[in-house]
Amino acid sequence: MGIFQAIRSALSGLNVTQTLPVDSVLIDVRSPGEFSQGHIEGSANCPVGDIANRIAAVCSDKSANIIVFCASGGRSSAARNVLISMGYAHVFNGGGVAGLARQLNKRLV
């Protein structure tokens, strides 16, 4: 495993041989303005700065698979750390919205 793969694996919560679970709750942690300009169909908007206060309304099941994502992966990495510290067990950093949409075969709306 190369250094960049190791870093991506550590930030995303994924082993490089794993894929994201398809039965996941999708949480877009970008701002409401960014979200309104295009988001993955079926995703919920929960900005990274509000995630601790708003996550229960989006997903109260701490054992659910959750994929957080943003524009490039930085904010979603921070959001993942917050959710893990709150006891959410299966949180994945999906990276950027466009790449994740392609990976999940979902439309941007």
Domains of the chain with bracketed CATH: 3-12+20-104 (3.40.250.10)
Tens of pLDDT, residues 4-15: 544 555 554 544
Distance separating alpha carbons of residues 52 and 40, to the nearest angstrom? 21
Question: Would you say residue 3 has pLDDT above 50?
Answer: yes
Distance separating alpha carbons of residues 24 and 44, to the nearest angstrom? 12
Query: What amino acid is encoded at 79 in this protein?
Result: A
Q: Is 59 a catalytic residue?
A: no
Question: Would you say residue 31 has pLDDT above 60?
Answer: yes
Query: Which member of 46, 68, 70, 104 is catalytic?
Result: 70
pTM of the model: 0.84
Tens of pLDDT, residues 54-84: 999 999 999 999 999 999 999 999 999 999 9
